[in-house]
C-alpha cells in the first residue's frame, strides 16, 4: 500500500496520497507534448497563408494605397477573400486551430515552468489561456464577415463590417477585448517565469516574448513581422514538446504510484 497523509476537515477525515501517478496531470505527457509540437507549426501556417493570400491577391498600387489609408485592415482582408476565398479561408482556419492547440501547449508549458517558478507561471499561463479565447471569438466574427461577402457582395459587406467594426471587435460587454490583454501580460509573466526556472535561456525568452506581441482583433492583416515571430516560436516550443514526448523533462514527472497500489476498476462509481 502507498503511504498516506491524513488530514481533518469539517465533514470528517480524508486521505491524500503522498504518491501520484506520473501521468495524473492535464493534459498529460503525450497530449501536452504533441500540443507543444503542433501548436506553433499550425499557428505559423495560418499566419503564413494569410500573408500570402494578401500578397498574391493581385491588387493594383492604387488599391493597395487605398487599403493602407483605411483605419483598419478589414477592407483589405475582405477584398483578399473575394479574390481568393480558398486561400484566405485556409489561413484563418489554421490560425483558429493554432489558437486551440496553443491553449493546450500553454497549459503544458505552465506545468513544466511551475515546478520551479509557480506564482509567475500560474498567473501567466492563466492569462494567456483566457486571452486565447478572445481569438476564437474573433475567428467567428471573421468567418461571418466572409459569409457576408458571399451573400451581399464585397462593397456592401465591407460597408456593413466597417459600420459595426468597433462593436463586433470589442464584443458583448467588452469581454473579448478585455481578456485579450492577458495575451500580452501573460506572455511576459510566463516568459520571465520560464527564464527563472531555467526552461528558457535568454534567446528563447526573447523569441517567446516577441511572439507574444502579435496583434489582436477582427480581420487583422498578417504582416511579415508576425510570420517571422511565429516561425521562430517553433524553435522555442517544438524541442520542448519532443523532449516531453520522450519523457526527458523531469519537471513534468510527479511521483509514481507503485503498480501494486492501483485501485480495482469499478463499473459504477461516484
List the chain pLDDT tens, one digit each, 270 residues.
444 444 444 544 555 555 666 677 889 899 999 999 999 999 999 999 999 999 999 999 999 999 999 999 999 999 999 999 999 999 999 999 999 999 999 999 999 999 999 999 999 999 999 999 999 999 999 999 999 999 999 999 999 999 999 999 999 999 999 999 999 999 999 999 999 999 999 999 999 999 999 999 999 999 999 999 999 999 999 999 999 999 888 777 665 444 444 445 455 555
Q: What is the predicted pLDDT for the residue at 250? A: 79
Q: What is the predicted pLDDT for the residue at 227? A: 97
Rounded Cα distance between 186 and 107, Å, is: 12
Q: Which three cell numbers stand for residue 144?
A: 461571418
φ, ψ of residue 253 in degrees (nearest 5): -105, 105
- Is residue 109 within 8 A of residue 36, CB to CB? The reply is yes
Cis before 27? omega within 30: yes
Q: What is the predicted pLDDT for the residue at 162? A: 96
Q: State the CB neighbour count (10 A cutoff) for residue 193.
A: 25
Q: What is the predicted pLDDT for the residue at 14? A: 53
Of 215, 218, 102, 220, which is closest to residue 164 (Cα–Cα)?
218
Helix ranges (DSSP H) in the chain: 29-55, 61-69, 74-83, 85-114, 118-152, 154-163, 165-170, 175-197, 202-211, 224-245
The continuous run of DSSP H or E covering 14 comes out as strand 12-17
- Is residue 129 within 8 A of residue 103, CB to CB? The reply is yes
Q: Provide CB contacts within 8 A for 41, sequence distance 6+.
A: 234, 238
Rounded Cα distance between 109 and 263, Å, is: 30
Q: Provide CB contacts within 8 A for 84, sequence distance 6+.
A: 53, 56, 57
Rounded Cα distance between 169 and 55, Å, is: 24
C-alpha angle 210-57-153 in degrees, rounded to nearest 5: 110
Q: What is the predicted pLDDT for the residue at 2? A: 42
φ, ψ of residue 214 in degrees (nearest 5): -60, 145
Amino acid at each position: 500500500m502507498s503511504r498516506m497523509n491524513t488530514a481533518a476537515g469539517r465533514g470528517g477525515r480524508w486521505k491524500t496520497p503522498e504518491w501520484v501517478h506520473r501521468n495524473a496531470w492535464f493534459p498529460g505527457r503525450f497530449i501536452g507534448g504533441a500540443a507543444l509540437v503542433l501548436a506553433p507549426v499550425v499557428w505559423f501556417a495560418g499566419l503564413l497563408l494569410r500573408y500570402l493570400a494578401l500578397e498574391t491577391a493581385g491588387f493594383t498600387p492604387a488599391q493597395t494605397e487605398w487599403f493602407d489609408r483605411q483605419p483598419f485592415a478589414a477592407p483589405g482582408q475582405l477584398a483578399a477573400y473575394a479574390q481568393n476565398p480558398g486561400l484566405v479561408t485556409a489561413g484563418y482556419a489554421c490560425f483558429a486551430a493554432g489558437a486551440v492547440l496553443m491553449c493546450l501547449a500553454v497549459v503544458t508549458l505552465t506545468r513544466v515552468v511551475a515546478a520551479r517558478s509557480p506564482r509567475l507561471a500560474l498567473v501567466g499561463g492563466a492569462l494567456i489561456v483566457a486571452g486565447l479565447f478572445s481569438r476564437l471569438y474573433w475567428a467567428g466574427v471573421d468567418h461571418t464577415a466572409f459569409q457576408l461577402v458571399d451573400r451581399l457582395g464585397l462593397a456592401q459587406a465591407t460597408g456593413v463590417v466597417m459600420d459595426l467594426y468597433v462593436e463586433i471587435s470589442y464584443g458583448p460587454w467588452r469581454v473579448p477585448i478585455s481578456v485579450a490583454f492577458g495575451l500580452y501580460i501573460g506572455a511576459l509573466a510566463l516568459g520571465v517565469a520560464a527564464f527563472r526556472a531555467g526552461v528558457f535561456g535568454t534567446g528563447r525568452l526573447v523569441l517567446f516574448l516577441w511572439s507574444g506581441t502579435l496583434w489582436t482583433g477582427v480581420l487583422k492583416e498578417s504582416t511579415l513581422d508576425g510570420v517571422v515571430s511565429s516561425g521562430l516560436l517553433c524553435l522555442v516550443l517544438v524541442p520542448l514538446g519532443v523532449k516531453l514526448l520522450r519523457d526527458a523533462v523531469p519537471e513534468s514527472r510527479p511521483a509514481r504510484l507503485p503498480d501494486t497500489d492501483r485501485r480495482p476498476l469499478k463499473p459504477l462509481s461516484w
